[in-house]
Structures are given as structure tokens and as C-alpha cells.
Structure 1
Amino acid sequence: MPLSEYEQRVLEQMERQLTSDDPRLANTLTQRGRRSVSRYLIAGSGAAIGLLLLVLGAAGSLPWLGVVGFVVMFAAVAFAFADPHRGAKRGGPRGVVQPDGEVRRAQPARKSGFMTRLEDRWERRRGEQGR
């Protein structure tokens, strides 16, 4: 059943509000999965090999082979669900262009603590409500 015009407007308004309040969350929710099929094929093969080693270790009374099989299975599943771009640099400015055309490397942003971020959000919201 399609949404009425009023429901569509409300939904769009909620989406804009979410984007303005927490852009990182909105970006995370709108991203599509980036995992390729080959990643799942490799992980599935690794899990099958690990299961085979586990069964052979149990059947042959070789506990070390069973442990190796379990570790291989665990690593395969972790590989399947791990973030494929975890080590890659995120987008964003890499430097600042000066008026004379010289490029100066941007200083890495200092990580703020959890409480500092909460306090900053609280102050921003209080400032928005006072308008």
C-alpha cells in the first residue's frame, strides 16, 4: 500500500532532521553493503575446510587437528563479516591549499572523549532551541 502525500512529507522531514542532527548515522544507514560475492565464497570455502578438519580431528582422535579446524572456521566467518575497508583511509581533506598555492598537510583531528562529544551536542541543541 503506497504512502499518502502527508506520510511522504513527514517521512522526508524526518529524514532531513536525522541528516542534520547526526550526519554520520544517516550516512551509515544509507550506505549499501560493499562486500563482494567473492568475499563470501572465500569465507564459505574456508568454513567448509575448517569443518572438514574439525571432523577429521574428532574422527581420528587428533585434538590438534580439531583445534586447527575450529580456528580456520572462526577466521573464515570473521573474514566474511569484517569491514572490508577497515584499514583504508576515510575520505576527507588531506591538506590545505594556501593563498600562494602551497599545499600544507592537514593536522590529524584530535579525538575527543565521549563526554566531550555529549557536552558539545548538548550545547548545540540548547543554542538551537534558544533561537
Structure 2
Amino acid sequence: MELSEEELRLLEQMERALVEEDPKLASTLRGTSFQRMARRRMILGGAILLVGIGLLIVAVLLDLTAVLQTVVGVLGFVVMLGGAILALTSARSPGHSVPKVRASGKSGLGVVDGGRPHRPSRQRSGSPFMERMEERWRRRRERGL
């Protein structure tokens, strides 16, 4: 849904006020620091994953007692799992699209067009399902007024 001209104008005024009041927050909202932080977390997660694999290899290769070998192996697995979780949660899923951003004003902030990826509707507008949903919506609106 597109914003009206007045809504866009108000949004631009709010953006300018935000940039003047708190430039650091405005920079964060632009998204560049979020991307850098996600990249750092992925690299850190990968490094922790490698340390966990190294601990597993050490547990297998070194001539340790059975109890110590088990403890080092379990510790290596837990560290490896933590690194993998950190790396994977900081990365965006390939199936999710990034919301489209329209630049507005000189501040560099943008308007996000929706939170979900746009998918064409599989239902026809005249389908019984949509008719039922529209009828429910009308009844709710009538009860609320």
C-alpha cells in the first residue's frame, strides 16, 4: 500500500528531526551497522565452530583417559554447536527476501514496503473462501461501530 503525499511529507519531517536529534540512532536505522554486526557475528560463529571442531579432533587424537577424552569431546561438540548456531542465526535465510526500501529525503533513511515478501495470491477474488472472509470482516466492523 502506497503512502499518501501528506504521509510521506510527515515521514520526511520525522526523519529530519531524528537525524538532527540523534544522528547515531539514525545511522543505526539506515541498516549499515546492522549488516556489519551480522557479518561480524557470522565470522565469529565460524571461528567458534572451528575451535569446536579442533577440540573434537584433539579429544580423538591425544592419548587421554577415557573420562577426560569424553569431557573434551563433549565440550568440543557444545562449542561447535554454539558457533554454528551463532553463525546461522546472524545470516539471513535465502528464502526470505529483503524488504524494499524507498529512499526519501536527504537523510538516507527509507520507507520499508511491507514486512513480508510479496507473493501473488493463489485465491481468486471471487472464490468462496475470500467471500467468507470479507463477510466476516464486514460483520466485525458492524459490531465494532
For normalisation by structure 1, the TM-score amounts to 0.40
Q: Which structure carries more relative contact order (alpha carbon 8 Å, separation 6+)?
A: 2
Q: TM-score, normalised by structure 2?
A: 0.37
